[in-house]
Structure 1
Amino acid sequence: MEIEKKYLTKEIPFSLDNFLCKQMIQAYISFQPTIRIRKSQEQYFLTVKGKGHVAREEFEIEINQQEFDCLLKKTEGNFVRKRRYYIPVESGYMAELDLYEGELEGLMTTEVEFPTLEEAGAFVAPSWFGKDISFEMGYKNTALSLYGKPREES
């Protein structure tokens, strides 16, 4: 079970130079159900996600580059390209700040994963995270792949 909250980040009040950053490319084989492939640095993954917003089933396996390249030919929609920064926050959680590239340039989101729904509900995000968009369909990566940036972000 994946439990996460997502925020629309407008500005970052500090330098990102000292945080781990991974370059990611992801694409979708299917949107219903959600079947995604992702390249993160030199690792490759196939992920199946269930329905839901904050909490949903997720199954992920590591695949090799050859499998990734073969599956890439079967994808729909646009690639989602981003740089992901891993930023520890005071509450002990790890924030994942995504700076989108290509057609999504300028969009920034921050996600935090939680072990329980109770912890997700009790979480108080730092102000720099921005607006909670966990329930806004237009900011899910599947929607970004299909439709691009939501209008208010264009």
Structure 2
Amino acid sequence: MEIERKYLITKLPEGATDFPCHRIEQGYLSTDPVVRVRREDDTYYLTYKSKGLMEREEYNLPLTKDSYDHLIKKADGHILTKKRYLLPLKGSDHLTIELDIFEGPYEGLMLAEVEFQSREEAETFTAPDWFGKDVTFSGEYQNSRLSRLI
């Protein structure tokens, strides 16, 4: 089960891009249900996600590079590319901010996600001051939806 909150970022805090990052490329074979292929650095996945906004089931299956290369060509819509920075959340011993800075057709879009261990933890979360609008429940910034826009 994936439990996460998502925020629109308009201004980065100083040093945000000094943290470790991953290069991500992903495409969607289906958006209903969500079936995605992703390359994260040199690792490849096929992912299924159930419906939902803050909570949903998620299953990741490993792929080979050849399988990924074959499947990404079958993706509908835009292939999304982004850098994902992993920032420790101040005051937490287990939460990490996943800061996505998009490239390509969404150049300049920045989103922050925080994954939680429980619904209660997600519901009582207080976002850092630099986080912008909470877009968790709008669905507007789900990557599967972004792949179909523009």
Superposed, which structure 2 residues align to 1:1-154 within 5 Å?
1-92=1-92, 93-148=95-150
Gaps of 5+ in 2: none
Aligned equivalents of 1:72, 1:137: Cα separation in 2:
23
Aligned equivalents of 2:111, 2:97: Cα separation in 1:
10
What residue in structure 2 maps to residue 151 of structure 1? Answer: none
Greater share of helix: 1
Tell me by how many angstroms 1:127 deviates.
Answer: 1.2
Q: Give the share of equivalent positions with the same residue, in percent.
A: 43
Tell me by how many angstroms 1:17 deviates.
Answer: 4.5
Structure 1 segments (4+ residues) deviating >2 Å: none
Aligned equivalents of 1:105, 1:69: Cα separation in 2:
23
Aligned equivalents of 1:102, 1:73: Cα separation in 2:
17
Aligned equivalents of 2:18, 2:9: Cα separation in 1:
19
Gaps of 5+ in 1: 149-154
Amino acid of the residue matched to residue 135 of structure 2? I
Residues 107-142 of structure 1: per-residue CA shift (max 9 Å, x gap) = 000000001000001110101111100011221101
Aligned equivalents of 2:74, 2:143: Cα separation in 1:
18
Aligned equivalents of 1:136, 1:17: Cα separation in 2:
27
Indicate if the aligned counterparts of 2:26 and 2:72 stay in contact, CA closer than 8 A: no
Q: With structure 1 as the length reference, what TM-score do the two structures score? A: 0.93
Alpha carbon RMSD of aligned pairs, Å?
1.0
How many residues of Structure 1 are paired with residues of Structure 2 in the alignment? 148
Q: With structure 2 as the length reference, what TM-score do the two structures score? A: 0.95
Structure 2 SS opposite 1:77 = strand
Residues 53-81 of structure 1: per-residue CA shift (max 9 Å, x gap) = 00001000111101101111221010111
Structure 1 SS opposite 2:78 = strand
Aligned equivalents of 1:106, 1:97: Cα separation in 2:
12
